[in-house]
Every structure is written in C-alpha cells, then in structure tokens.
Copies of this chain bind each other. A is one copy, B any other.
Amino acid sequence: MKDSSYKEVLQEHQLRITQGRCDVIRFFLQSSYALSAKDLENQLPQYDRVTLYRTLHTFIEKGILHLIPHDGGLAYFGLSEPVRQKLSTPEADTCSDHYYQDHVHFTCTACGRTECLPDHMVPEVVLPQGYRIEEVDLLVKGHCQLCQE
C-alpha cells in the first residue's frame, strides 16, 4: 500500500496530510479488529495521546472511522467500509458511502476482540409510528472462530 492512497483519503475529506494521520489509517487498515484509543497509544507511541484522540475525533467527524457501540468502558473504532474498500482495492471506484452504513459487529467474549462483519447486513427494522431511523447497529456477542474450545 502506497502512502499516496492515504493521502487521497485525507484530501477527499478536506484534511491536511500528516504523518500521524497516515499512520493511524494504516494501523486501522492492517487490523481486522476494532481499535481503541489505548490500542493506538500502544502501537503508535511516537505520537502524543492527545493527538491520537484528536485524530480519532476528526476521523469520526469526517466519516473515515465509525464508532462501534459497546457495553461501556472504552470507545472502539473501526475503519468505515468505503474507506477500507478504497484502500484495499485502489482500482475500484469509490462510489462513496452508498449503502454501507449498517453492518454487524461481533465481539468475542473470550478474546475480547471486536470485528466488523461487513458481509452481514442488518435486517430491516420496523419501529412504531413516529420514530425516524437513521442508523442501525447489530451487535453480536459470542465466541469467534479462533476461540472455540
């Protein structure tokens, strides 16, 4: 993966290109799991904690990352699917954020890791009159493939 792809992602979102932001995106891209601020802190010790937090916020705002709902404690983040696709298959047309809002998140109660399961769409939800749905998250807990006894 060339740095130029990261640059594109940042530029498309009106963000300045900095080493830190590229490193953060790279780290997310390389991870199959959702990451917390703590994870960034551990893996990118060359950057200040505060910078990492601010980068996370900026990326959430811009839609580069999404927040993954969880039971409390740490906040977890995942690369948004359009960005991951763009960076994984640079040839592909970015077709922006067409449908990929809602997918399944899986948290393993054994190893504690959370992953996005982008191939599993969330079934249609019907709510009572008067509710306007903006986003749906399906959170599954259990044991992942690696943690079966």
Binding site for B on A (CB under 8 A): 67-76, 104, 106, 109, 117, 120, 122-123, 125-145, 148
Contact = CB atoms under 8 A, between A and B. Distances in A.
Contacts of A117: 127-128
Contact of A145 (B67, B120, B131, B138): B131
Contacts of A148: 130, 132
Nearest to A138: B138
B139 A69 contact: yes
Nearest to A66: B71
16 contacts: A68-B71, A69-B69, A70-B70, A72-B75, A72-B76, A73-B73, A109-B134, A120-B126, A122-B138, A128-B145, A131-B140, A134-B141, A136-B139, A137-B138, A138-B138, A139-B139
Given A72-B75, A136-B140, A138-B137, A104 B125 contact: yes
A109 B75 CA distance: 17
Contacts of A70: 69-72
B142 A133 contact: yes
A102 to B, nearest CB: 10
Contacts of A139: 69, 136-139
A127 B140 contact: yes
Contact of A135 (B123, B125, B140): B140
Contacts of A132: 142-143, 148
